[in-house]
Structure 1
Amino acid sequence: MKRLLGVALGILTAIGGFLDIGDIVTNAVVGARFGMSLAWVVVLGVVGIVLFAHMSGRVAAVSGRATFEIIRERLGARVALANLVASFLVTLLTLTAEVGGIALALQLATAVEPRLWIPVAAFAVWLVVWRAGFKVMENVTGLLGLALVVFAVALVQLGPDWSALLQDAVAPAIPAQEHASTYWYYAVALFGAAMTPYEVFFFSSGGVEEGWTEKDVAQSRADVLVGFPLGGVLSIAIAACAAVVLLPAGIEVTSLSHVALPVVTAGGVLMLAFLIVGVVAATFGAALETALSSGYMVAQYLGWSWGKFRRPAQAARFHLTMIVALLVGVGVLMTGVDAIKVTEYSVVFSAVALPLTYLPILVVANDPQYMGDEVNGRVVNALGQVVLVVVLAASLAAIPLMLWSGAGA
């Protein structure tokens, strides 16, 4: 039982990372426009995040230190500062999207204007970060987020042509009505949603929070091998539901109610209730991750005391950073900006920042000074380098594709 609960960190990271508001919306948009022809991107994203999250978790377990601390020490203050600025800005944008996502999910449940929920959502995130223990936070949020399995159940209930879905996935083609630039723009967006920088910083710092040692390397591997593939399967289920219900009807995803439509079609109000619980839990979990990650990044770079294993008074600047990040996010959302658009931009800019996050992790994971005998093996290094090439390509292509495609319009 203890080992089973141990994978909760991986589940939380997957539900709050792979299945945050960005991934939920982006997969639904892609399914409604491209069917299953971009499922390969989700698979590639799963492979990439499993590789690099495991590297990051192994660094934390072997060295007893969070990845960002070592990045500054190993690569120098200037390189680490570039990493910090890019990763922090993307994480702040993602945090804003997640708080907005909580508000949208609560609107779906209550029909109350989302802007009335935004301060409530942000306050709840702060309260949990301030008061709840790390174990309670990861177990409760991660397990409630598993309610998103309702997408997989809905897909079965819809009774699709499985052979047609599989053919669309394994032999992808750009639909005749879509431009190639739009197809590749959403490919980059899906990849960015899977590989968001905060995931590895949260996973690494969470390992330190839980006191991982070399004995926990196997546990770290189990976390990523369970959590992230689970998130990937549910991501594909979301796209498939949209492909079955929304694509034939010509319905574009512009709100969370459109994402919910296939689930309601399959199972009515009961399945909608499960969906709302899952979306609130997933977005809330992602908001916790991004809020904590914003504090982790800044505190670890500047050498401040950090972590939930310390009392707030002992890590005051760490907690202040998270409060400021939440206030900025609330301020942006209260202007009336579309939370769905914030979400879409957050995953694209995440792709832009990826090399600054993943190259340093690959360097540190191969440094015997920190890793001893636990440096990467040949297979992991080879796969990591292949993924890094894809990461670099996505980063370089993201902005041109955004401009060329009109942000996927």
Structure 2
Amino acid sequence: MRRLLATTLGVLSAVGGFVDIGDLVAASQAGARFGMGHAWVLLVGVIGICAYAEMAGRIAAVSGRAVFDLVRERLGPRVALLNLVASYLVTVLTLAAELGGVALVLQLASGLPYLLWVPVAALAVWLVLWRMRFELMERVFGLAGLALVVFAVALTRLPTDWAALGRQALVPEVAGQGWGAYWFIAVALFASTVSPYEVFFFSSGGVEENWSVRDLADARFSALVGFPVGAFLALSLIATAAVLYHPGRTPLTGLDQVAQPVVVAFGVVGLAGAVLAFFAVTFGAALETGLSAAYAAAQYFGWQWGKQVSPHQAARFHSVLLVSVLLGVLVLMTTIDPITLTEYMLIISAVALPMTYLPILIVANDRTYLGERVNGRWTNLLGAVVMVVIVAASIAAIPLAVGTRMGQ
């Protein structure tokens, strides 16, 4: 049971990256348009995030400091400031999208316009971040996010042709869609699996939980189990959409369409399960992105930080947290569509990925911080291969977005 609970930090971190509001639609859209043709992207992404999350967790456990805390010290204030500005902008805008996602779920459940729910969602997120203990928050929302497994179960009730899904995964079907759109979705999905705030949150969470060298096994277990769970949930979304919609090329633009596979499989009970799952993952992602924004700012400027620390002792950290939530609300009040916002942020995130992951690889090889716990030969080889993929995605993101008009 202790090992099971140890995975919840990884699960909550993965929920924010693999199955947030944008991915609920993007993964289903990928399945509807290309079947299982993007399954390999999730495989590459989960290998990459596991490798770098393990490094970030090891850094936190051995040094007692979070990744961003060491970036400024290791790379200098100017490079770290560029990283901070880029990551904070992307994270706050993603936070806005997640708050909008919670509001869209409440709209699906109530029928009321989602903009009426935005202040309610923001207040609820703020209260949890302000009052709930970190470990309780991690376990409640990490485990609640597993409700999305209802999509995997739905595959057993739908008329699933498993052999056809396997063929689609091996040979992508792009007829009528185009390779440009295929690769655009591939880059967006990859960016979602290795979002920068995932490792910020994971390593800072390790510090919040007071990881030490004795906790290295739990840190590694959390990364190597939690993130694959998130990938499995995202894969389930792709698969159910592939079964129900592919190759009809039905455009998916709303949560009601994303939920349709479980509605077909289980009726009204399925809809209730989907609403619960959508709420859990979007609310969990909002918590993660809100904390990540505050973690990055506080660690760069050397402020006292931590959800475990009272607002009186860490006033600037909690102020940044509150301001970030309010900025998210202001963005949504422009009436921009939360799903569209997240899709744009995935592309911007893809561009910024090297600035996040290269410093982790550098610090993980620095004996000043890790002593004998630095990366081994095989870990460095894997990290280097993943870095090449990250750089390739970063270079391709903008041309693909422009050339395909955001995958259209």
TM-score by length of 2: 0.98
1:222 aligns with 221
Instruction: Please tell me whether the aligned partners of residues 354 and 391 of structure 1 are also in contact (alpha carbons under 8 angstroms).
Output: yes
- Aligned counterparts of 2:175 and 2:257: Cα–Cα separation in 1: 23
Moved more, 82-91 or 240-249: 240-249
Instruction: Please tell me whether the aligned partners of residues 159 and 243 of structure 2 are also in contact (alpha carbons under 8 angstroms).
Output: no
- Aligned counterparts of 1:89 and 1:334: Cα–Cα separation in 2: 17
Distance apart, 1:340 and its partner CA: 1.2
Distance apart, 1:171 and its partner CA: 2.4
Instruction: Please tell me whether the aligned partners of residues 83 and 356 of structure 1 are also in contact (alpha carbons under 8 angstroms).
Output: yes
Instruction: Please tell me whether the aligned partners of residues 33 and 247 of structure 2 are also in contact (alpha carbons under 8 angstroms).
Output: no
Does 1:364 find its partner at 2:370? no
Alignment of 1:113-128 (within 5 A): 113-128=113-128
1:21 aligns with 21
Instruction: Please tell me whether the aligned partners of residues 30 and 239 of structure 1 are also in contact (alpha carbons under 8 angstroms).
Output: yes
Residue by residue over 1:44-97, the C-alpha shift from the partner in whole angstroms, topping out at 9 and shown as x without a partner, is 100010011111111000000011111110110011111111111111111111
2:51 aligns with 51
Alignment of 1:8-407 (within 5 A): 8-173=8-173, 175-407=174-406
The amino acid that maps onto 2:217 is A
The amino acid that maps onto 1:242 is A
Instruction: Please tell me whether the aligned partners of residues 17 and 194 of structure 1 are also in contact (alpha carbons under 8 angstroms).
Output: yes
Residue by residue over 1:337-364, the C-alpha shift from the partner in whole angstroms, topping out at 9 and shown as x without a partner, is 1111012112111111100000000000
- Aligned counterparts of 2:115 and 2:34: Cα–Cα separation in 1: 32
Instruction: Please tell me whether the aligned partners of residues 37 and 168 of structure 2 are also in contact (alpha carbons under 8 angstroms).
Output: yes
- Aligned counterparts of 1:335 and 1:87: Cα–Cα separation in 2: 22
Distance apart, 1:310 and its partner CA: 0.8
Distance apart, 1:330 and its partner CA: 0.7
Secondary structure at 2:80 match in 1: helix
Residue by residue over 1:131-173, the C-alpha shift from the partner in whole angstroms, topping out at 9 and shown as x without a partner, is 0000110111111111100010111211311011011102234
- Aligned counterparts of 1:326 and 1:314: Cα–Cα separation in 2: 20
Distance apart, 1:223 and its partner CA: 0.4
The amino acid that maps onto 1:364 is V
The amino acid that maps onto 1:69 is D
- Aligned counterparts of 2:157 and 2:231: Cα–Cα separation in 1: 20
Instruction: Please tell me whether the aligned partners of residues 246 and 262 of structure 1 are also in contact (alpha carbons under 8 angstroms).
Output: no
Secondary structure at 2:309 match in 1: coil
Distance apart, 1:15 and its partner CA: 2.0
Residue by residue over 1:279-329, the C-alpha shift from the partner in whole angstroms, topping out at 9 and shown as x without a partner, is 111111110010000000000000111001210111111111111111111
Distance apart, 1:4 and its partner CA: 2.0
The amino acid that maps onto 1:114 is Y
Distance apart, 1:249 and its partner CA: 3.8
Instruction: Please tell me whether the aligned partners of residues 151 and 240 of structure 2 are also in contact (alpha carbons under 8 angstroms).
Output: yes
Distance apart, 1:221 and its partner CA: 0.8
Instruction: Please tell me whether the aligned partners of residues 97 and 346 of structure 1 are also in contact (alpha carbons under 8 angstroms).
Output: no
The amino acid that maps onto 2:95 is L
The amino acid that maps onto 2:202 is F
- Aligned counterparts of 1:2 and 1:385: Cα–Cα separation in 2: 33
The amino acid that maps onto 1:140 is V
Moved more, 10-19 or 223-232: 10-19
The amino acid that maps onto 2:155 is L
Secondary structure at 2:14 match in 1: helix
Instruction: Please tell me whether the aligned partners of residues 23 and 194 of structure 1 are also in contact (alpha carbons under 8 angstroms).
Output: no
Moved more, 80-89 or 290-299: 80-89
Secondary structure at 1:314 match in 2: coil
Percentage of identical aligned residues: 58
The amino acid that maps onto 1:138 is E
Q: Which ranges of structure 1 fall in alignment gaps of 5 or more residues?
A: none
Residue by residue over 1:91-134, the C-alpha shift from the partner in whole angstroms, topping out at 9 and shown as x without a partner, is 11111111011011111111111000101001111110000000
- Aligned counterparts of 1:193 and 1:10: Cα–Cα separation in 2: 15
Distance apart, 1:250 and its partner CA: 3.3
Secondary structure at 2:313 match in 1: helix
TM-score by length of 1: 0.98
Secondary structure at 2:312 match in 1: helix
Distance apart, 1:23 and its partner CA: 2.0
Moved more, 201-210 or 83-92: 83-92
Secondary structure at 2:156 match in 1: helix
- Aligned counterparts of 2:251 and 2:171: Cα–Cα separation in 1: 23
